[in-house]
Amino acid sequence: MTSEFHVATTGSDSASGTADEPFRTINRAAALAQAGDTVTVHAGEYREWVKPRRGGLSDARRITYRAAEGEHVVIKGSERVTGWVQESGTVWRADVPNALFGDFNPYGEEVSGDWIVYPEGAAHKHLGDVYLNGLSFYEVDSADAVAAPVARTEIVDNWTATTSPILNADQTTLVWHASVGEESTTIRANFQGADPNTELVEINVRRSVFFPVVPHLDYITVRGFELAQAATPWTPPTADQPGLIGPNWSKGWIIEDNVIHDAKTSAVSIGKEASTGHNYATERGDKPGYQYQLESVFSAQQIGWDKEHIGSHVIRRNTIYDCGQNGIVGHLGCVFSTIEDNHIYNIALKREYYGYEIGGIKLHAAIDVEIRHNRIHDCSLGTWLDWQTQGTRISRNVFHNNSRDIFIEVSHGPYIVEHNVFASPASIELFSQGGAFISNLILGTVRVEAVMDRATPYHRPHSTQVAGYAYIRAGDDRWFGNLFVGGDASLAYGVGAEGKEPALTGTSAYDGYPASFADYIERIQSQPPGDHQRYLDVVQAVYTGGNVYAAGARPFDGETNPLVLPSGTAAVLEDGDGVYLVATLPGEFDGARSAPVSGRDLERVRFADAEFEERDGTPAVMDVDLVGTVKAADGRFAAGPLATLASGESRTRIW
């Protein structure tokens, strides 16, 4: 027998929890909910960290937390602060009792951990934040700077830094500083003429908004809420990874139809837990983070990291924005998950801090993960898949206006990238091997780089079991039916950086690579006798066909009969709530038509010795275009993500 518990702002936790006598807090319902039960939350604002006590028993016997139909329910990790005292001009002070925070005071907790980067001598930022009518402020380094904010240094990519003023979208300076005392925390903020005692002013108080405190609470659904304002910590792959919302090392969660915003770092976490390592590189300083991350993979296997116990989450139809580090993050715990139909934007754009774990989506060990039909834009990096990208499929997504669209790092494949739009100046960066790029539109650069000093694991197909590990020689990639339109290398991330490979257009980054496996083997056999040494200097084969190049994009010199158009333009434009692909292509474009590609058409991946397959082990089929058109197996279709794209001028809604 299942039950439904009701929660309302007019309720009482001493009530029965029925529709007529609802509870006041969601946590009261969470304490009672059993497998198969539903918690229905009615309209209003709830300031609590929801900590589920139990999980469901199967996909059919879930515990479901949902907003009541047609009602707006907001759950916040913040508290409203009043009683501000005007100190001078537009600067106000509030003395907040430390009892409000309990044993976690975000104004005394730094954004820190493995792979965080601060400019030399810079003060570290904290997990606290201040909001005026929902708009977050910038933290400054001293109380004096609240009255007279100075320019800040922001790291905009791995190699360059710029100085800019601290401004919000209205070009006004909104800053805060806090000092933590024994009894209270003093927060000073510059409200630029607003009266904080009459406006809505909130401060971060709770680490999370919806997150269990223990692992293995499986099969929970969270649906239809607005979730906001959490003091989440930095979430590298070598640490505990709590988010504003997440399953905390479990299986089978569904997070759907929510609006999630203003996590100090990461919004949705489907990542690892602390027992497999927690910022050891930073705390111990005896080994690199790379080594500790490698160890975490084996540690996770020892505590049951497998398909039966971990992963298989669904994150769909959420709107995620205004977060400092990630929209979605995860290491190890993300395996076998599906991320679909989400709108992710404004991630890591405040640039109060920087590190090597930032992106709209940032996953490590994305084994058999499907990332499909998401719109990801205005992010420091759209999607970053790092380590063990295997069985992964990135399908029918729209990337635009990002500093970089997609970065796949130190992975061996097989992985598939198909029917996507990559519209940012730096479209694709590959420090990996074993990928298949099918029917994409690429409007920016493609950068390819070997990584010979970091051997990373690869796995048995559709499994977390480690089969071996290897360095990245680059290549062993497949490019079929893609449309490349231009790309300005001078605008791309990392161009001209010392010791880095340049970003190029089209597939020309592979110039000089073997064009077949037979060619690769011939080059190996021509090396001096030896074992591993003879492989070190030989790049791997690249397989290409049916690609179209326009507006200066150049084909790989080993590609047979590429179609290079004399002209052509394409761009992604926003118009109201729609996103459109606007293209002008010459008549020659109509001469390039090809059949849908399947896993049977693709060469086996060399290092992982694996095929391109669906999750169930059958050959992968890439026969659905960006807008949902099914490509008949015996048909022939345009290059790029739209099956019906043709020459001339066109305007197609793609989101």
The reported pLDDT for the residue numbered 492 is 61
Averaged over 465-488, what is the pLDDT?
95
Alpha-carbon dihedral 408, 414, 420, 424, rounded to 10 degrees: 20
The reported pLDDT for the residue numbered 581 is 98
Hey, do 79-204 and 252-566+595-620 end up sharing a CATH topology, with the first three levels equal?
no
Q: pLDDT at residue 37 above 70?
A: yes
The pLDDT tens digits of the residues spanning 449-474 come to: 999 999 999 999 999 999 999 999 99
Average pLDDT, the chain: 94
The residue type found at 88 is S
Structure tokens at 94: 């509030």
The reported pLDDT for the residue numbered 150 is 56
CB-based contacts of 299, cutoff 8 Å, min separation 6: 275, 276, 277
The reported pLDDT for the residue numbered 24 is 98
Q: Picking from 239-253, 269-283, 480-494, 602-616, which range would have the lowest pLDDT averaged per residue?
A: 480-494
Q: pLDDT at residue 35 above 70?
A: yes
Pairwise CA distance, residues 42 & 36, whole Å? 20
For the chain, the domains span 79-204, 252-566+595-620
The pLDDT tens digits of the residues spanning 590-644 come to: 999 999 999 999 999 999 999 999 999 999 999 999 999 999 999 999 999 999 9
- Classify 527 as helix, strand or coil: coil
Alpha-carbon dihedral 496, 499, 501, 503, rounded to 10 degrees: -20
Name the residue among 102, 107, 100 with its Cα closest to residue 124: 107
Q: Is residue 165 very low, low, confident or very high in pLDDT (cuts 50, 70, 90)?
A: very low
Q: Which CATH class is domain 252-566+595-620?
A: mainly beta
The reported pLDDT for the residue numbered 171 is 43
Residue 234 to residues 129, 211, 337, Cα–Cα distance (Å) = 14, 16, 22
Pairwise CA distance, residues 140 & 91, whole Å? 13
Pairwise CA distance, residues 444 & 286, whole Å? 40
How far, rounded to the nearest angstrom, does the alpha carbon of residue 578 sit from its chain's CA centroid?
22
Name the residue among 503, 433, 397 with its Cα closest to residue 158: 503
The residue type found at 257 is D
Averaged over 475-484, what is the pLDDT?
98
The reported pLDDT for the residue numbered 122 is 86
The pLDDT tens digits of the residues spanning 393-435 come to: 999 999 999 999 999 999 999 999 999 999 999 999 999 999 9
Q: Where are the beta strands (DSSP E) in 317-460?
A: 319-323, 326-331, 338-340, 343-347, 354-355, 359-364, 370-372, 375-379, 383-386, 392-395, 398-400, 406-409, 415-418, 421-422, 426-431, 435-438, 441-442, 445-448, 451-459
CB-based contacts of 291, cutoff 8 Å, min separation 6: 281
CB-based contacts of 246, cutoff 8 Å, min separation 6: 208, 210, 211, 253, 268, 269, 270, 271
The pLDDT tens digits of the residues spanning 329-358 come to: 999 999 999 999 999 999 999 989 989 999
Domain 79-204: assigned CATH number: 2.60.40.1180
Structure tokens at 574: 């926003």
Averaged over 217-226, what is the pLDDT?
98
The residue type found at 225 is F
Averaged over 444-449, what is the pLDDT?
97
Bridge partners (DSSP) listed for residue 189:
92, 176
Q: Are 323 and 266 in contact (CB under 8 A)?
A: yes
Percent of the chain with pLDDT over 70: 95
Q: Is residue 270 very low, low, confident or very high in pLDDT (cuts 50, 70, 90)?
A: very high
Q: Are 310 and 250 in contact (CB under 8 A)?
A: yes
The reported pLDDT for the residue numbered 172 is 57
pTM: 0.96
The continuous run of DSSP H or E covering 30 comes out as helix 26-32
The pLDDT tens digits of the residues spanning 67-96 come to: 999 999 999 999 999 999 999 999 999 999
